[in-house]
């Protein structure tokens, strides 16, 4: 087919319609990719937020140190410690787009660990709670990485991940958070 054989009206329609057709096909092919890139950008922003250095430290964070990435602390076993922990956990969940499904607080059974220091010994108490969260695979990865990066001394245990509604996953795990109880001093 040659443009010279077409009538002028057909040439004008072709001249105006061809760019619109090319633009439409391009948008049709590029739109799913743009949506995927936007989703990936949101996940990367959440990961960066989770890995940002913390701006505040707990009062007792120097009491017991350990961990791979620097000093981690166990706050003192005082009233309101669990509320502070839950607020911190809630912040981690918000930044990683994870939804809390269930939280079962510690049952009260304690196993104590002694921590020797220069002034004497302190007792390190784990508070183990069972937590169930829901999110995408990337969201759960961001959440567990944020738990790893936290200033608190935490130990996730017995992780079980199930897929109930694609792409959402449910993760149930026990999280031991440690608090310090100073030994009672006798006069």
DSSP for 45-78, please give it: HHHHHHHSPPS---TTTTSS--SSSS--B--B--
- Lowest mean pLDDT of 64-68, 118-122, 175-179, name the range: 64-68
Query: Do 180 and 122 meet the contact criterion of CB atoms below 8 Å apart?
Result: yes
| pLDDT for 70 beyond 50 | no
Query: Do 168 and 139 meet the contact criterion of CB atoms below 8 Å apart?
Result: no
Structural domains of the chain, ranges and CATH numbers in brackets: 53-181 (3.30.70.60)
> What is the tens place of the pLDDT at every residue in 153-180?
888 888 999 998 888 999 999 998 888 7
SS3 113: strand
pLDDT band of residue 141 (cuts 50, 70, 90) is: very high
> What is the tens place of the pLDDT at every residue in 27-65?
888 888 877 777 777 777 766 655 454 444 443 333 333
Quick one: average pLDDT of 69-75? 53
- The share of the chain scoring above pLDDT 70, in percent, equals 71
Query: Do 103 and 175 meet the contact criterion of CB atoms below 8 Å apart?
Result: no
- Which of 116, 127, 130, 131 is closest to 74 using CA atoms? 127
pLDDT on residue 100: 92
Specify the pairing of strand 168-181 against strand 120-135. antiparallel
- Lowest mean pLDDT of 63-72, 127-136, 154-163, 178-187, name the range: 63-72
pLDDT band of residue 111 (cuts 50, 70, 90) is: low
**26 — phi, psi (to 5°)?**
-60, -45
| pLDDT for 15 beyond 50 | yes
49-54: Cβ within 8 A, 24+ apart: 49/95, 50/92, 50/95, 50/96, 50/142, 50/143, 50/145, 50/146, 50/149, 51/145, 51/146, 51/149, 54/150, 54/151
User: What is d(CA 53, CA 146) in angstroms, rounded to the nearest whole number?
Assistant: 10
User: What is d(CA 97, CA 143) in angstroms, rounded to the nearest whole number?
Assistant: 8
pLDDT on residue 170: 94
Quick one: average pLDDT of 128-148? 92
pLDDT on residue 78: 66
Compute the mean pLDDT over every residue in the chain, rounded to the nearest whole number: 75
pLDDT on residue 1: 62
- Distances from the Cα of 47 to the Cαs of 67, 145, 169, in angstroms? 21, 9, 18
Number of Cα atoms under 13 Å in the Cβ half of residue 51: 10
């Amino acid at each position: 087919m040659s443009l010279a054989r077409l009538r002028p009206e057909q040439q004008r329609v072709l001249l105006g319609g061809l760019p619109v057709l090319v633009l439409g096909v391009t948008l049709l092919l590029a739109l799913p990719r743009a949506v995927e890139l936007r989703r990936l950008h949101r996940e990367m922003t959440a990961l960066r937020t989770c890995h940002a250095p913390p701006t505040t430290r707990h009062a007792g964070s120097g009491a017991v140190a350990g961990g791979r990435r620097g000093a981690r602390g166990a706050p003192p076993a005082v009233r309101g410690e669990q509320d502070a922990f839950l607020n911190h956990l809630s912040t981690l969940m918000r930044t990683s787009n994870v939804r809390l499904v269930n939280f079962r607080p510690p049952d009260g059974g304690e196993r104590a660990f002694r921590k020797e220091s220069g002034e004497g010994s302190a007792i390190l108490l784990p508070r183990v709670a069972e937590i169930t969260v829901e999110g995408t695979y990337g969201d759960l990865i961001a959440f567990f990485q944020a738990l790893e990066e936290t200033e608190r001394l935490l130990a996730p245990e017995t992780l079980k991940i199930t897929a109930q509604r694609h792409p959402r996953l449910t993760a149930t795990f026990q999280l031991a958070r440690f608090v310090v109880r100073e030994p009672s001093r006798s006069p």
